[in-house]
Structure 1
Amino acid sequence: MSIKSIAAKIFAKKIYKKTQLWANNPIETQKKVLQKLIKDAKQTQFGIDHHFDQIKNEKDFAKQVPVRDYEALKTYVDKVVKGEKNVLWKGKPLYFAKTSGTTSGAKYIPLTKESMPYHIEAARNAILHYIHETGKADFVDGKMIFLQGSPILEEKNGVKLGRLSGIVAHFVPKYLQKNRIPSWETNCIEDWETKVNAIVEETFNENMAVISGIPSWVQMYFEKLYQKGRKPVGEIFKNFNLFIYGGVNYEPYRAKFENLIGRKVDSIELFPASEGFFAYQDSQKEKGMLLLLNSGIFYEFIKSDEFYTDNPKRYTIGEVELGVNYVLIISTNAGLWGYNIGDTVQFTSLKPYRIIVSGRIKHYISAFGEHVIGFEVEQALSESMVNTNVKVNEFTVAPQINPKEGLPYHEWFIEFENEPENLEDFAQQLDYEMRIRNIYYDDLIKGSVLRRLVVTKVVKNGFQDYMKSIGKLGGQNKIPRLSNDRNIVDLLKSK
């Protein structure tokens, strides 16, 4: 065992104990976070406009600060982008994380000197919790890679901007610099396919121990490694035993990954976003990710089925229940207040508070009142793949409201790696799994409002070609699992 791995174990134990202090005192921790946020932003334009000087507790906060998405907060953000100080948070931000918007074009999410360290610490602490629980630390001597966006930053009115993953690349600790791959030059390549090819060449003969990224894009990297080496990734990288991922549910990809790797490897799930780093998997034994209650973020939760009603109740951490689908609302030390990030979560544990990401509040199918969410379709697909040789590269689901004949249905567009022996039998199994997970969908089938779902095969690399056609191949971009219209699938069909 190396000095480095021994030091990692000692540090891991220290961080674990520190985490337990706030994890075992969640309600008081969140109250203190809110109080500090209010105090630090009291003299900002937003704080003055929303009477922060009158806010004493969570109920006062909910009364003074409405829930907003980016569009509703944009008048304030625009002032920050123009270079004004003390608008949403004291001073000016260190960076803007530039993300793709839906109706407003590019979105500029502020990152401040107070918020930025938590992005780095959370990723580090996820690995340290893994070391503490498993005792495995030898990987710290190997090479590590995170498939990410370009670290080249632009500047806008004195503030640097770029993709979050590119910004984070500037904060890699010195003790990891020698272990980190790819090189700066390779990381700066903008074209995703060119970049992945360069990463394959750069890593092929290295001692890769940790690989991290969004599963769909890591899969592309693994496939190119397999093509070059003509053997599983686990044979190319004999010491690769830890996969770190975020952004999408890993389960639909797991069988394909294990096939590409040639064996099982441990994994750690993360829940990062430009708006904050919200949770990470703190245990290999327990379901869900530890919600980070002491990271400069105050959380509120709105039940998904109440979200679009007038004045829905905003729940604090002490009021949430297991298994309920909540829209995640955040207020942060980067100046986002009552902010709807669009993700929905469910709690898997209340001691400590652990969550899973169940989908997106805007990504659902409810053409007939069924309100199918991402977590349900991912579970249904994963279960349908159990005990079969079926492997899936990518998928999305959309309603077919006006079929040429017969009843409407849900249409699943699936790019198979290994196709089922009988597609109709697989569709029937998938439909069964959906019906036991969503009673509204089941009622619509029983009531002959909908017919059984239909599976449509997507050609090899069809999803990659689609993402390339809309300029979103690679990086942190993801295919929506669900759409309530057919805009995406109609483009897929045209490929």
Structure 2
Amino acid sequence: MSVKNTILKAYFSQRMRAIDRFRRHPVQTQERMLRQLVERGRRTEFGWRYDLKNVHGVEQFQAQVETFDYETFKPYIERMRAGGRNITAPGRVRLFARSSGTTSDRSKYIPVTRESILWNHTLGMRDVAAVFASNNPRTRVFDGKTLTLGGSCSEQEGNLVGDLSALLIREMTFWSGWFRAPRTQTAIIPDFWQKADAICRECAGERITSFAGVPSWNLALMRRVLEYTGKQNLLEVWPDLCLFAHGGVEFTPYRRSFEELIPSEKMQYMETYNASEGFFALADDPQRDDMLLMLDYGTFFEFRDGESIVPLEGVVCGRPYALLITSNNGLWRYEIGDRVEFTSVNPYRIRFAGRTKQYINVFGEELIVDNADRALAEACAHTGAVVGEYTVAPCYMSLHERGAHEWIVEFDREPDDRERFAAELDRALRASNSDYDAKRNTTLERQRLTVVERGRFLDWMRARGKNKVPRLVNDRRVADDLLENRQPVPSGAKTN
């Protein structure tokens, strides 16, 4: 065993014991996180305003500190971006993750402290490795490198601003290069296709054993790798490939495409919940489709169901909650815009249930992302289709027509029959959502299927500086923008 593997094995063993401790003592762990965060925040302007020096428990914290979303917390962030010190976190914050969010602004700017890099995001990525090694004791994944597809960042008025992935790559310690490819200079090239070509030149000959990142962009990169190498699948390029740690969007629509790119039963896919606001959860059991909530990363969690907000011990399984965090990146009782659903409370495991503002409810149908993803997976399974990207928008009622949903879909592989695909999608949607089913008998027609050429979604994201596509939008802004100057794709056209 190499020195590197010996060191890693010792660290992973220690870390798995710590994970087991918070599994067994979740409430105590969260109370400890809150005490540390309150102590850290007492000497900030936020701490003085909300009298944190006199907060000594969860109930008192909830009584004294109001809740925030991006719009209400934005004045604090703007002062930090302007160079203010000790605003909501100690000292000067110089790193800001730019994220396209469901706000009135084109971009959100999330503060990222040095402490959150070390004890949240980096620890989360190490735990991905620790958990994978624990589940696969004979793995050779650490004999090679992890290909990490970063975004881009730039200096702006004394701050470093950009995609979280680029900030992490820039700020990680030097030894991360022992485990990661490509080089930092390559990983943060702003133009995606220039970056992809540089990665091909640099990494095609490397021993890549895993890769990590957002599925949509990685799928585009891996296709470019095959074009560059002339190979039929990724195992011909990197025969030891065995892990994709993915996050950012629901993986279900992409799974079939990756399984075709990497035709191996040994390949494993591990979901992570690593948002701009923090690293929150990871899949600890390959036999399950949920994630372990990571309770010792410097984050105190709360969960909103309507007007009721509860700490961890107040949640129940099967109910979707809006997620609020107080964290070591200077966010306080901040609603991040995501919904989660608990699948277990011993230990606490969650499933991502979509964005709080990503839904369609034009006709009272209350369609959420979880319904859409699951219905799409069923339609694909029944028709042999592979969907690369999709988004859904309403088609409004008129004097003579009922309303409908328009599904704009980019196929990696066409279904055996588009009409059958649409029928299966409709059946699965009705089975998954009783409100949708009820409206389908009255105000809603069956969904309308619009197929776009491969690459349209990626071009749309690149042009607008986004790294994900809104799945459900309650108006037609995204749909009409996406379909502008579209060339119709005839049924039966080869899309793979």
Scaled by the length of structure 1, what TM-score is found?
0.92
Deviation at 1:263, TM superposition (A): 2.7
The one-letter code matched in structure 1 to 2:85 is: K
Matched, 1:467 2:461: yes
State the distance in 1 between where 2:15 and 2:127 align.
Answer: 7
Question: What is the SS of the residue equivalent to 1:492?
Answer: helix
Q: Pick the aligned partner of 1:453 from 407, 426, 447.
A: 447
Q: Summarize deviations over 1:173-230 as a string: whole Å, max 9, x none.
A: 5544134211233223211111112212222222211111110011101211222323
* Residue number in structure 1 paired with 2:189: 189
Q: Comparing 128-137 with 360-369, which one deviates more in the overlay?
A: 128-137
* Residue number in structure 1 paired with 2:395: 400
* Residue number in structure 2 paired with 1:284: 286
Deviation at 1:161, TM superposition (A): 3.3
CA contact (8 A) 2:150 2:188 kept: no
Deviation at 1:3, TM superposition (A): 4.3
Query: For residues 45 and 174 of structure 1, do their structure 2 counterparts lie closer, same or farther at Cα, with a shift above 3 Å needed?
Result: closer
CA contact (8 A) 1:9 1:135 kept: no
* Residue number in structure 1 paired with 2:227: 227
CA contact (8 A) 2:81 2:94 kept: no
CA contact (8 A) 1:235 1:262 kept: no
State the distance in 1 between where 2:398 and 2:415 align.
Answer: 25
* Residue number in structure 1 paired with 2:493: none
Deviation at 1:356, TM superposition (A): 1.3
The one-letter code matched in structure 1 to 2:202 is: E
Q: Summarize deviations over 1:429-482 as a string: whole Å, max 9, x none.
A: 111111111111011113x1111112111122121222233243xxxx100111
* Residue number in structure 2 paired with 1:483: 473
State the distance in 2 between where 1:461 and 1:343 align.
Answer: 27
State the distance in 2 between where 1:198 and 1:340 align.
Answer: 38
Matched, 1:89 2:108: no
CA contact (8 A) 1:143 1:179 kept: yes
Question: What is the SS of the residue equivalent to 2:342?
Answer: strand
Describe how 1:27-426 pairs up with structure 2 within 5 A: 27-100=27-100, 102-117=103-118, 118-150=120-152, 153-157=154-158, 159-228=159-228, 229-264=230-265, 265-303=267-305, 306=306, 312-402=307-397, 406-426=401-421
Q: Summarize deviations over 1:308-335 as a string: whole Å, max 9, x none.
A: xxxx110110011111111000011222
State the distance in 2 between where 1:42 and 1:178 align.
Answer: 39
State the distance in 2 between where 1:99 and 1:415 align.
Answer: 24
| Identity within the alignment, % | 35
Note the aligned Cα RMSD (angstroms): 1.9
Question: What is the SS of the residue equivalent to 2:440?
Answer: helix
CA contact (8 A) 1:344 1:358 kept: yes
The one-letter code matched in structure 1 to 2:316 is: E
CA contact (8 A) 1:196 1:221 kept: yes
Query: For residues 96 and 383 of structure 1, do their structure 2 counterparts lie closer, same or farther at Cα, with a shift above 3 Å needed?
Result: same
* Residue number in structure 1 paired with 2:491: none
State the distance in 2 between where 1:50 and 1:56 align.
Answer: 13
CA contact (8 A) 1:5 1:137 kept: no
Query: For residues 403 and 427 of structure 1, do their structure 2 counterparts lie closer, same or farther at Cα, with a shift above 3 Å needed?
Result: farther
CA contact (8 A) 1:290 1:353 kept: yes
The one-letter code matched in structure 2 to 1:230 is: K
Q: Comparing 195-204 with 248-257, which one deviates more in the overlay?
A: 195-204
State the distance in 2 between where 1:62 and 1:233 align.
Answer: 50
Query: For residues 415 and 404 of structure 1, do their structure 2 counterparts lie closer, same or farther at Cα, with a shift above 3 Å needed?
Result: farther
Gaps of 5+ in 1: 307-311
The one-letter code matched in structure 2 to 1:288 is: D
Query: For residues 94 and 492 of structure 1, do their structure 2 counterparts lie closer, same or farther at Cα, with a shift above 3 Å needed?
Result: closer
CA contact (8 A) 1:327 1:342 kept: yes
The one-letter code matched in structure 1 to 2:298 is: G
Question: What is the SS of the residue equivalent to 2:308?
Answer: coil
Question: What is the SS of the residue equivalent to 1:356?
Answer: strand
CA contact (8 A) 1:246 1:271 kept: yes
Deviation at 1:232, TM superposition (A): 0.7
State the distance in 1 between where 2:71 and 2:79 align.
Answer: 14
State the distance in 1 between where 2:382 and 2:11 align.
Answer: 41
Gaps of 5+ in 2: 487-496
State the distance in 1 between where 2:116 and 2:137 align.
Answer: 30
Question: What is the SS of the residue equivalent to 1:415?
Answer: strand
Deviation at 1:56, TM superposition (A): 2.9
State the distance in 1 between where 2:363 and 2:304 align.
Answer: 23
